[in-house]
Amino acid sequence: MITVEGLSKTFQGATKGTVVQAVTDLSLNVAEGEVFGFLGPNGAGKTTTVRMLCALIAPTRGRAAVNGHEVGRDDQAIRRTVGILTETPGLYDRLSAEANLRVFAELYDVPDPAAAVKRYLGLLGLWERRHDAAGSFSKGMRQKLAIARALLHEPRVLFLDEPTSGLDPEAARLVREFITELRGEGRTIFLTTHNLDEADRLCDRIGIFKTRLMAVDTPAALRRTLYGRQVVFHLARLDPAWVDAVAALPTVQEARAVDQRLIVRLESPEENNPVILRRLIALGADVQFVGELRHSLEDIYLRFVNHDAEARS
């Protein structure tokens, strides 16, 4: 659905002669029906990437195709078949909710504009307020109206640029629920966010991005590849010699002590935990608890972004 190869974008900087490298050498594939999370801090180049993929701005280098249409060659086809929720809703504040959608239904050449407008006003719970000016809406309602606008022409691929940023928790929850529903309809969704929790909950795969793509995988696999699986043994007292003894076991990849806890990295804990446990008991340890150490996506993200910052300094 979305294929990207070596995509780069440079902007002219604020002072003449300088350049801003917003996106560098991005390569990526998003499959049909997938919800892809594009995760990165502010200024990472997320919006720039979305704009390139929606044929709003031209890439400096590289190529990309959306829905089988090449960016830069079939731009009109791309615009017809993708939907975009822009970073700011950009509604016509003086026009009613209905009039806002009507304009876009017509510009997208929707066969029956009135029906499409009605359907999406209803789906997003805005039908009762259809005659009210968009300017009078709360932030959450504005965002919903903007989402409705992106869906009028039934796009196969949907780009959502920070769909919940700036919303109160309740409105953000409603928007997330709606995205989950959309996903059920088999649409391909490319979602940018700087909210880790959101990416973790909504997305099939996540790309960690800060000008360059630093990692792409499922949330679970990202945790695993970075940290392996880790088990914590809480002990009443920890003898440093036990750490080496456990580390010497064939299936253990790494063992380290943190306070009175022994942290062990290993494959398939289900099979190997009992072995370690027996060994520890044989050594005379009092084991109080055993648990799996789960890393949050936040750890992963911070690790990448900090690594990047260190590499630069």
Partner 1 sequence: MKHIRTLIAKEWAEVFQNRIVVFTVGALPLLLALLPLGILLTMRGTTLGGGETSDLPPSMIKACGAIAIGDCFQIFLLNQFLPLFMMMPLFIPIAIASYSIVGEKTTRSLEPLLATPITTEELLAGKALAAVIPAVLATWGSFVIFLIGLPLVGASSPALLTALSPTWFAATLLIGPLVSVLAVIFALMVSSRVNDPRVAEQISGVLIVPVLGLVFGQLAGVLVLNLQLMLTVAAGLAVIDVILVFFGARLFQREVILTRWK
Ligand X SMILES: Nc1ncnc2c1ncn2[C@@H]1O[C@H](COP(=O)(O)OP(=O)(O)O)[C@@H](O)[C@H]1O
Residues in touch with Mg ion (CB under 5 A): 46-47, 87
Closer residue to ligand X (CB): 37 or 113: 37
Q: Which residue has the tokens 């805005």?
A: 126
Tell me, what amino acid is at 41?
P
Closest approach of Cβ 75 to partner 1, in Å? Answer: 8
* Inter-CA distances, 75 with 9, 45, 63, 67, 81, Å: 17, 21, 13, 11, 10
Q: Which residues are near ligand X by CB under 6 A? A: 11, 20, 22, 40, 42-48
Task: Kindly state the DSSP code that residue 153 receives in the 8-state scheme.
Answer: T
- Tell me how far apart the alpha carbons of residues 185 and 36 are, in angstroms, rounded to a whole number: 15
Closer residue to ligand X (CB): 44 or 84: 44
Q: Residue 170's closest CA among 139, 124, 127, 126?
A: 139
Query: Applying CB under 8 A, which of residues 86, 164, 193, 272 lies at the interface with partner 1?
Result: 86
Query: Applying CB under 8 A, which of residues 88, 253, 260, 296 lies at the interface with partner 1?
Result: 88
Closer residue to partner 1 (CB): 1 or 145: 145
Task: For Cα atoms 208, 210, 213, give the angle at the middle one, nearest 5 degrees.
Answer: 50
- Tell me how far apart the alpha carbons of residues 186 and 31 are, in angstroms, rounded to a whole number: 11
Query: Applying CB under 8 A, which of residues 32, 93, 181, 197 lies at the interface with partner 1?
Result: 93
Query: Applying CB under 8 A, which of residues 2, 39, 84, 158 lies at the interface with partner 1?
Result: 84
Closer residue to ligand X (CB): 9 or 153: 9
Report the chain's C-alpha Rg in angstroms.
25
Contacting residues for 266 by C-beta, under 8 A, at least 6 apart: 228, 229, 230, 231, 251, 252, 253, 272, 276
What does 99 interact with, of ligand X, partner 1, Mg ion, none (CB < 5 to 8 A by kind)?
partner 1
Closer residue to ligand X (CB): 197 or 292: 197
Closer residue to partner 1 (CB): 104 or 304: 104
Closer residue to ligand X (CB): 237 or 312: 312
What does 106 interact with, of Mg ion, partner 1, ligand X, none (CB < 5 to 8 A by kind)?
partner 1
In terms of Cβ atoms closer than 10 Å to its own Cβ (0-12, 13-18, 19+), residue 46 is buried
Q: Say whether residue 137 binds partner 1 (CB under 8 A).
A: no
Query: Applying CB under 8 A, which of residues 1, 65, 71, 79 lies at the interface with partner 1?
Result: 79
Closer residue to Mg ion (CB): 6 or 166: 166
* Inter-CA distances, 284 with 235, 261, 277, 278, Å: 11, 15, 11, 10
Binders of partner 1 among residues 26 to 65 (CB under 8 A) are 51, 54, 56-58
Query: Applying CB under 8 A, which of residues 5, 33, 80, 275 lies at the interface with partner 1?
Result: 80
Q: Say whether residue 109 binds partner 1 (CB under 8 A).
A: yes
Q: Say whether residue 90 binds partner 1 (CB under 8 A).
A: yes
- For residue 220 the two structure tokens come to 């679970």
* C-alpha neighbours within 13 Å on the C-beta side of residue 95: 12
The residues of the shown chain that bind partner 1, judged by CB under 8 A, are 11, 51, 54, 56-58, 76, 79-80, 82, 84, 86, 88, 90-95, 99, 103-104, 106-109, 146, 149-150
